[in-house]
Amino acid sequence: MDLLSTIMNAAGSGGLEKIGSQFGLDKSAVEKVMAQVVPALGQGIKKGTGSGGGLGSLIGALQKGNHQKYIDDVSNAASSTAVQEGNGILGHIFGSKDVSRNVAAAASTQSGVSSDVIKKMLPMLATMAMGALSKQTSGGSQLSSNEQSGEAQDLLSSFLDSNNDGNTMDDVLNLAKKFF
């Protein structure tokens, strides 16, 4: 199961409403934003793990953090601690606030939700993405055990690329079709 599907399934029917209530959005608007933002987070994670030490850093973060709590109960992702942690995650994934702003602007154009609202949602969605990764990789242990053989990157890519074609953008388009 890919990153967006894992988050959507974990949020369930009531979870999306909980997320939306934090920002004055209905379930449909949350789905549209997530369909734009979560794949961008996945691309950032994939890009970051491809560089020197990036995969090891991700594995360390997954093993040390208690990220699953953000996916097990999405209301945890709305706490001030989670927002602070999410901002740190965004810094690692995107590298700069400018990239986060660009992601929010692009998601706003596609979803019709204000970029200011999306900027506030980004830390929450980043913690949920790490929670989904943690859940899918057993707290990073699956990645760690496959790191030496080189299979960890393949495992991570399979999670970030639902049809394993090496391109996550087609997955974004296919998911977006479900919501629009």
Q: What is the pLDDT of residues 95-147, one digit of tens each?
A: 888 999 999 999 999 999 999 999 999 999 999 888 888 777 765 555 555 55
Tokens 């709590």 belong to 69
- The residues, ordered by sequence, that sit 6+ positions from 154 with a Cβ below 8 Å of its Cβ are 146
Task: Work out whether the CA dihedral 158, 176, 41, 140 comes out positive or negative.
Answer: negative
Structural domains counted in the chain: 1
Q: What is the pLDDT of residues 11-59, one digit of tens each?
A: 766 788 888 998 999 989 999 999 889 888 888 887 877 766 766 777 7
End-to-end CA distance of the chain: 21
Tokens 């109960």 belong to 73
Which residue range forms the structural domain that includes residue 170? 3-179
Residue 87 banded pLDDT, cuts 50, 70, 90: very high
Of the candidates 57, 13, 21, which has an alpha carbon nearest to the alpha carbon of residue 156? 57
Residue 70 banded pLDDT, cuts 50, 70, 90: confident
